[in-house]
Amino acid sequence: MTQERFTGSFTQQEPIPESGIEAALAVLRHGRLHRYNTAPGELAEAALLEEEFAALTGAKYCLAVASGGYALGCALRAVGMRAGERVLTNAFTLAPVPGAIAAAGGRPVFVEVTDDLVLDFAHLEEQARATGARLLMLSHMRGHLCDMEALVALCARLGVTIIEDCAHTMGAAWNGVPSGRHGLIGCYSMQTYKHINAGEGGFLISDDAEVMARAILLSGSYMLYARHRAAPPPEVFEAIRLETPNVSGRMDNLRAAILRPQLPLLAGRVARWAALYRVLEAGLEQTPGLRLIPRPAAESWVGSSFQFSLPGWSDTRIGAFLARCGARGVELKWFGADQPVAFTSRYDHWHYAEPTPLPQTDRVLKGLIDMRLPLTFTEADAAQIARIIRAEALAVGQAEEAALAAEARAVRLPD
Ligand SMILES: *Cc1c(COP(=O)(O)O)cnc(C)c1O
């Protein structure tokens, strides 16, 4: 019997919509790529993009910048993080998150994550009290939202300001409130593998006028901030414009032009991701040894990636499982590997941060498997991927049992 093999590409995103290509060509043809380089009466693509993303999320203000990581660092500076200040953040996140904290001069303090891949509130409280940290860089890693109302209440009690890393939650919501709207600032990424694609790019949103004015000045607005549209009025800038450094990291009109036509497509993409996610989930339900991550009823998430765990599996068994899935075209990533691979690294690989023992996170990440879910996949693809994963999880289990039985026989042989 020949085994089925998946032939799709886990890194192939959809093309840029034709309207985005046309808009990009128009910018290339007129040549005014810098956001403040506008003809008389012209509105820059970057300014329009900000206005449209603010409307989409219901935020008062929005700033588009060079990358998601830049947005995070800019947010920390905009809220007045001091040099050497400790910043709480999820131990399960992507390298640019602690990287942004370090680049802005802060020191990451990692907080344990739960089996359901969200921040552990008890440990958050413990770390906040132990360090006196005033800032939380909350990473909605792989799109998992914690109980946002409970978190907001806890942080208010602790005097901790929340900055949200929504790189994986653009289009997600908690009890109907868009992700990024619970914290003082929400940050997003428009890097190719996220939910709208300009290659690179980031957003900050906020309702706080002074914080946003600071962010705009920081991003490199010079004295041209009045050309922004989703921005506070010029008088808010007056008081701070000479004391705020220019940490150049602007969005340009070319990428803004590519992004604007994608905003109205976001809701449709989220629905398609949900369908793929559901097919995978259904196909993997009740697979022995494999735990699916439960999703709370209040969470509406974006299924641009899929996680499951293999609790208690040995490294060799997980290694064999990954190799067998890989041989059948199913590319899985493992957060438990000793060495960082490609995009996947872990808190204890980031040696510039203070070492913290995090036994719970260690256990969670040891068995955590992660998969990209690009929208070039169909529901039939998702069903096939689930069949392969399920079959190989079972096969590895059987192979291990057979090996143990053989070992037991070998031990008995001398009698
Ligand atoms: C991608 C990503 C970022 C950073 O975004 P860039 O645009 O690549 O700088 C931050 N946090 C998470 C969780 C990410 O996945």
pLDDT tens track for 178-234? 999 999 999 999 999 999 999 999 999 999 999 999 999 999 999 999 999 999 999
**If you average pLDDT over residues 315-328, what whole number do you get?**
97
| One domain, residues 255 and 277 | no
Q: Residue 151: is its pLDDT beyond 90? A: yes
Q: Is residue 170 in a domain?
A: yes
Asked if 256 and 64 touch (Cβ cutoff 8 Å), the reply is yes
Domain for residue 413, yes or no?
no
Together in a domain, 307 and 258: no
Assigned domain for 375 exists: yes
Do 189 and 225 sit in the same domain of this protein? yes
Q: Is 98 touching ligand 1 by the criterion CB < 6 Å?
A: no
The domain boundary residue, chosen from 208, 234, 265: 265
From 73-77, 247-251, 336-340, the region with the lowest mean pLDDT = 336-340
Cα of 143 to ligand 1 centre, how many Å? Answer: 12
Same domain (yes/no): 271, 261: no
Read off the pLDDT of residues 97-117 as tens digits, 9 standing for 90 and up: 999 999 999 999 999 999 999
CA distance 214 to 216: 5
Q: Using a 6 Å cutoff on CB, does residue 198 contact ligand 1?
A: no
Long-range CB contact pairs, 292-295, < 8 A, 24+: 293/116, 293/117, 293/144, 294/116
**2 falls within a domain:** no
pLDDT-derived band at 354, boundaries 50, 70, 90: confident
3 found inside a domain: no
Interatomic CA distance for residues 85 and 334, integer angstroms: 32
372 with 296, same domain: the answer is yes
Per-residue pLDDT at 407: 84
**Closest by CA position to 59, among listed 164, 161, 196:** 164
DSSP string, 207-267: S-HHHHHHHHHHTT-TT-GGG-SSS--HHHHHTTTTTS-----B--HHHHHHHGGGGGGHH
pLDDT at 124 over 60: yes
Same domain for 215 and 337, yes or no, is no
CB of 137 within 6 A of ligand 1: the answer is no
Same domain, 238 and 320: no
Residue 413, pLDDT > 80, answer no
- What integer pLDDT is reported at residue 57 of this predicted model? 98
Domain count, the chain: 2
Which domain-ending residue is among 265, 284, 302? 265
The range of the structural domain enclosing residue 69 comes to 18-265
Say how many Å lie between the CA of residue 118 and the centre of ligand 1. Answer: 17
The β-bridge partners of 202 are 65, 189
Q: How confident is the model at residue 414 (pLDDT cuts 50, 70, 90)?
A: low
Tell me: the pLDDT tens digits for 339-349? 999 889 999 99
Among 328, 364, 322, 373, which Cα is nearest to 346's? Answer: 364
Is the CB of residue 196 below 6 angstroms from any atom belonging to ligand 1?
Answer: no
User: For the ranges 154-158, 176-180, 333-337, which has the lowest average pLDDT?
Assistant: 333-337
Q: Calculate mean pLDDT across residues 307-327.
A: 96
Q: Which two tokens stand for residue 25?
A: 């060509």
Residue 297: inside a domain: yes
pTM over 0.75: yes
CATH of residue 358's domain is: 3.90.1150.10
pLDDT at 415 over 90: no
CA-nearest residue for atom 14, ligand 1, is 167
Among 220, 250, 265, residue at a domain's last position: 265
What pLDDT was estimated at residue 92? 96
Residue 411 has pLDDT above 80, yes or no: no
Q: Is the CB of 186 under 6 A from ligand 1?
A: no
What's the 28 CA to ligand 1 centre distance in angstroms?
27
Of 194-203, 263-272, 347-356, which gets the smallest average pLDDT?
347-356
CATH at residue 216: 3.40.640.10
Please indicate, yes or no, if residue 7 is contained in any of the structural domains. Answer: no
148 and 226 within one domain = yes
CA 53 to chain centre: 18
Alpha-carbon distance of 335 to 340, in angstroms, equals 8
Q: How far is the CA of 182 from the centre of ligand 1 (A)?
A: 19
93 lines ligand 1 (CB under 6 A): yes
Tell me: pLDDT of 31 over 80.
Answer: yes
Q: Is residue 1 part of a domain?
A: no
Average pLDDT, the chain: 96
- Ligand 1 centre to CA of 68 (Å) is 5
Q: Are residues 344 and 224 in the same domain?
A: no
d(CA 208, CA 227): 19
Q: Tell me what the mean pLDDT of segment 360-378 comes to.
A: 97
Q: Which residues contact 14 (CB under 8 A, 6 or more apart)?
A: 197, 374, 375, 376
Report whether pLDDT(80) > 80: yes
**Span 235-248, mean pLDDT?**
97
352 and 256, same structural domain? no
pLDDT at residue number 107: 98
The pLDDT assigned to 1 comes to 60
Q: Same domain, yes or no, for 245 and 271?
A: no
110 and 27 in a common domain: yes
CA 193–ligand 1 middle distance (angstroms): 9
